[in-house]
Amino acid sequence: MPVPHDLFADLSIQADDFHALSAKDPELLKLYKDYNAKDKEVDVAERTAAADDTVTQLRKERLLIKDKIERIIHPAKS
Residue 55 in domain: yes
pLDDT tens digits for range 25-53: 999 999 999 999 999 999 999 999 889 99
| pTM attached to this predicted model | 0.89
The residue range of the domain holding 76 is: 26-78
Residue 37 in domain: yes
Q: How high is the pLDDT of residue 2?
A: 64
Residue 5 in domain: no
Instruction: Band the pLDDT of 76: cuts 50, 70, 90.
Output: confident
Residue 33 in domain: yes
pLDDT at 78 over 60: no
Residue 12 in domain: no
Instruction: Band the pLDDT of 17: cuts 50, 70, 90.
Output: very high
Mean pLDDT confidence for 51-70: 96
Domain count, the chain: 1
Q: What angle do CA 59, 65, 66 make, to 5 degrees?
A: 85
Angle formed by the axes of helices 15-24 and 52-73, nearest 10°: 80
Residue 65 in domain: yes
